[in-house]
Structure 1
């Protein structure tokens, strides 16, 4: 999809999500929000995200994510809650990562 097509898709998904939220269809709203997140990920350049970088996670205040490696539009790594780093590795769409916190030396 082109950038223009992705923008159109996001606009359509946002409208559907708004309607689902108004109708109280929580499951459909959650699915549409996830689709929006994925569409946004394809509009970003994975080259802008590097192993060792730490980012805030959108929608999860106070929680950060340290990137271990990249696979397409997914960053794989570990969540950081304060001084505690999760042992479980997970993949997040790069559109969920914001405000780079630091870089590993």
Structure 2
């Protein structure tokens, strides 16, 4: 079943997150690794639709929530995906390869590279 999350209200998106969290908890109890990964990503996608893409601007630098040693500099925002470069916090070195991150994977930081 296809989901059109961009048409959902915030309440509907929250209900979807709650339902997916229940499925995630069940998958964790059953130690179903692939299902855990799928439900975790689905939750990130839905949470990304709950965020305002206008709060993510080109040149902004964010922490990557699941990668505390890295920052992410945005070069483009397309829908619920930010495109840009990872920056190593320690070395301040920027990756040469551009990559996409869901908006929900980014946490605001005041740290500059």
TM-score clears 0.5: yes
Q: Does 1:21 align with 2:28?
A: yes
Q: How does 1:48-67 map to 2 (within 5 A)?
A: 48-67=55-74
For normalisation by structure 1, the TM-score amounts to 0.93
Q: Point out 4+ residue stretches in structure 1 off by more than 3 angstroms.
A: none
* 1:93 is the counterpart of 2:102: yes
Gap regions ≥5 residues in structure 2: 1-7
- Shifted more, 55-64 versus 31-40: the winner is 55-64
RMSD, aligned CA: 1.5
| Alignment length (residue pairs) | 104
